[in-house]
Structure 1
Amino acid sequence: MPQRPPHLAHPAARSTGSWRGLALGLLATCAAAGVVAQANLPITPAQRATAQQVASAGVPLSALADNAPASHTVQRGDTLWAIASIFLKTPWRWPELWGMNLQEIRNPHLIYPGQVLVLVKDGDRARLVLGGQADGQAPTNTVKLSPRVRSELLENGAIASIPLQLIGPFLNEAVVLSQDELAAAPRIVATQEGRVMVSRGELAYVRGDLGGARNFTLFRQSKPLRDPLTNELLGHEAGYIGTADFVRADGKAPVSGLPVPATFVMTSTRQEAGVGDRLAPVPPRDYSAYVPHPPAKPVDGRVVSVYGEALTAGQNQIVAINRGLRDGIERGHVLALWRAGVAATDRTGAKPQPIQLPDERSGLLFVFRVFDRVSYGLIVSALDPIRAGDRISEP
């Protein structure tokens, strides 16, 4: 049976039931889209059976959105998150649409513009199945993918999980360094023809340990990220300048024996680079594991800062939080945002009494980049402006 390309991955299994019902039979309907893929690991008959069993379970009707339609034709520009919001009350749980065994089966199929998703209700359960192409839509082309790190946007116009255009540029820009990493980062020591600043296409000369990398981001003023509760230094957020590529290695001058710096060419600039600017390797841009899922354990953290110069953030903006790899945060974690309850006074008794109003849920955060002690997330919904110090928790 042909299978679809590996796009989405989930690091932890979930129990059956409403969490992952509303299924689009992962293996039962693979042939419908006509997409062939090679998985990183073979899928056993037992795993197929598990996936099909989950896919057939569906979700309770109570999990459906009040105005869930009978069908939906996938449009160009749709995201899986947006499609799930059409059918489910809780759109971040869109993996339910696939009915996956999320721990063992890591190659759920993609969906494409023009395909029709049909909501099937059976008793007190509901599930989603893949129908045919909408009128006027060409059938999906068959494509064969080899296992590799995905460094480009989804191929053949497949529907992404979240709006990748919102986070794509950020995957190259955001760099968080420790104090030691900052001190050891390679730095520009001279410029082409002694220019004060260098622009795209011009040369810069760099000293420091390149670690074998060839593509780098450049940054200037690093912003300290401090824990809002303890004031502990969590890392340094690099101020993005642009990108540069390695041209020639460093060494020693044959006559004088003096050190010769490595040569770099500026490949893009948001602002001109100069002597003293630092370099960090460009991280891989891997879109293959952006599957929303809740943390496996409770989370209690805070928003550290709003990325950029703004004091508050809203939907589709990016914030840093004071939890990272060491705290069990993963790419794809969905976290609730909470506005702190304000101080008030109860004046209904014999004498006024200070009270604290409860925290109010203010939004939802989708984590897409994780460092050791800091993570970045996209605000996918916000009822109120999000500020540094706002609380985060499991959703």
Structure 2
Amino acid sequence: MKKFSTAALLLVFGSTLNATASAADTTKTRCAFLQNAPDQHQVVRGDTLWGISGRFLQNPWCWPQVWGMNKDEIRNPHWIYPGQIVYFDRVAGRLRLGNSVNPGSGTQGGSTQGGIPTVRLTSQLRSQGLGQEAVTSIPSGVIEPFLAQPLIIEENDLKDAPRIIATAEGRVNVGKGDTAYVRGDLKSGTSFQVFRPGVPLKDPTTKNVIGYEATYLGTIKLDRAATSSNEAHAFTVVTVKQEMGVGDRLVPVPPTPIINYVPHPPETQVDARIVSVYGGVTQAGQNQIVTINRGKQHGIDVGTVLELFRFGDTVVDRTQDKSMWSMSRDKVKLPDNHYGSLFVFRVFNNVSYGLVMQVQDTVQVGDLARSPE
């Protein structure tokens, strides 16, 4: 059995302490509060978690760390409502939540911690109004059209989907109020979205197809179900975003989701690339939608925040001694340029959709989306 000296043990122990302290210092630095952070902020209608945290923090995605949230709370957070107050506990370096009334009076079930009034949001609060008035993570109006539409269709999903086989009076396309005839297993559904398979999305690195972005056409509802296997179902077109016709496919209308996940960095290191900008353009700005080549299989979930980078150029070092130039010139890669943040709000197996947050440059296809440093 090997023997270790006391000095060696102290050296190992000291190294462990230094590494722990270094990691803590790094977390503290990247999750630092703004020097001019307010003592408190009263939540108002229209606030978002991202916006509120940006009033206090240099990096809004640090919200879970300074709020003291665990993994379950990040994925299923307690609601925060207009009228409540977010307090900055400067001594503890944390944010706390209180009510606009005196929480110590007992009327709101409040308490005080170090002079900071706080109240624990319980499931009872969450059940009131089903969270409809709660503060959202990011501007909901921008992403709502993307939450209930099947943007990414796996290749196998198209195989057995019900399809439009004919239209009333043989029209090429149908509009609102028109009749469309559908064949396929409705699985007891009555309301459907209509889509058309779009162009394949290719991974910028591997060039492999990672999904098919569907073109959303509108919604239709069942009027009369088929009574035999060789009869078509009759549907009425309810809403139209684009013209629909024979060959277009149906998927059931999903329940309207309430997205209120807390902004947070991914649990594992993520190095993604921008695959496309929604709408077929090549560049995106703030509050626009982009896709990345990472999804559930890569540890991405709703609320994941990534930092946007552009590859640094490779340049020739022209400052070298001229006598060396006759041989060769060194090529040096410049650092990648960090220019913004991305909030992931819809996740598929290999593709995710994100909302471009604060940016200092335009987002381009092929740019990097990495875990926050």
TM-score range, shorter chain: 0.7 to 0.9
Query: Cα distance, 1:289 vs. partner?
Result: 5.0
For the Cα contact (< 8 Å) 1:18–1:63, is it kept in 2? Answer: no
Structure 1 segment 258-269 matched on structure 2, within 5 A: 259-269=230-240
For the Cα contact (< 8 Å) 1:199–1:266, is it kept in 2? Answer: yes
Which residue, 241, 244, 255 being the options, matches 1:284?
A: 255
Counterpart residue number, 1:120: 89
1:187 to 2:156 alignment: no
Counterpart residue number, 1:171: 147
Query: Structure 1 pair 170/125, CA: closer, same or farther in 2 (3 Å)?
Result: closer
1:239 to 2:239 alignment: no
Q: Which moved more, 1:206-215 or 1:329-338?
A: 206-215
What is the TM-score with the length of structure 1 in the denominator? Answer: 0.73
CA distance in 2, matches of 1:356, 1:61: 25
Query: Cα distance, 1:292 vs. partner?
Result: 1.8
Counterpart residue number, 2:279: 308
List per-residue Cα deviations over 1:288-328 (Å, max 9, x = no partner). Answer: 45222222211122111011122111111111111112222
What is the TM-score with the length of structure 2 in the denominator? Answer: 0.77
Query: Structure 1 pair 273/388, CA: closer, same or farther in 2 (3 Å)?
Result: same
Percentage of matched positions with identical amino acids:
46
Query: Structure 1 pair 292/125, CA: closer, same or farther in 2 (3 Å)?
Result: closer
Counterpart residue number, 1:54: none
Which residue, 324, 342, 345 being the options, matches 1:365?
A: 342
Query: Structure 1 pair 294/236, CA: closer, same or farther in 2 (3 Å)?
Result: same
2:58 counterpart SS class = coil
For the Cα contact (< 8 Å) 2:75–2:261, is it kept in 1? Answer: no
Partner amino acid, structure 1, of 2:161: A
Where do 5+ consecutive residues of structure 1 fail to align?
A: 1-16, 21-58, 253-257
1:158 counterpart SS class = coil
Partner amino acid, structure 1, of 2:180: A
Query: Cα distance, 1:251 vs. partner?
Result: 4.0
Aligned residue pairs: how many?
327
2:343 counterpart SS class = strand
1:77 to 2:46 alignment: yes
Partner amino acid, structure 1, of 2:100: G
1:332 to 2:303 alignment: yes
Query: Structure 1 pair 208/100, CA: closer, same or farther in 2 (3 Å)?
Result: same
1:173 counterpart SS class = coil
Query: Structure 1 pair 280/18, CA: closer, same or farther in 2 (3 Å)?
Result: farther
Q: Which moved more, 1:268-277 or 1:231-240?
A: 268-277
Query: Cα distance, 1:77 vs. partner?
Result: 0.9
- Which of the two has greater helix per residue? 2
Query: Structure 1 pair 18/265, CA: closer, same or farther in 2 (3 Å)?
Result: farther
Counterpart residue number, 1:228: 204
Partner amino acid, structure 2, of 1:158: A
Query: Cα distance, 1:366 vs. partner?
Result: 1.1
Which residue, 224, 237, 241 being the options, matches 1:248?
A: 224
Query: Cα distance, 1:336 vs. partner?
Result: 1.6
For the Cα contact (< 8 Å) 1:226–1:235, is it kept in 2? Answer: yes
CA distance in 2, matches of 1:113, 1:312: 35
Query: Cα distance, 1:62 vs. partner?
Result: 7.7
1:391 to 2:360 alignment: no
CA distance in 1, matches of 2:281, 2:305: 23
List per-residue Cα deviations over 1:319-343 (Å, max 9, x = no partner). Answer: 1111112222211111122111123
Query: Cα distance, 1:271 vs. partner?
Result: 1.9
1:382 to 2:353 alignment: no
Partner amino acid, structure 1, of 2:64: P
For the Cα contact (< 8 Å) 2:66–2:94, is it kept in 1? Answer: no
1:336 counterpart SS class = strand
CA distance in 2, matches of 1:331, 1:243: 26
List per-residue Cα deviations over 1:87-141 (Å, max 9, x = no partner). Answer: 111112223464334437976432322333332333x64543414259xxxx99x
1:168 counterpart SS class = helix
Where do 5+ consecutive residues of structure 2 fail to align?
A: 1-23, 109-121
Query: Cα distance, 1:167 vs. partner?
Result: 0.7
CA distance in 2, matches of 1:133, 1:106: 29
Rg larger in structure: 2
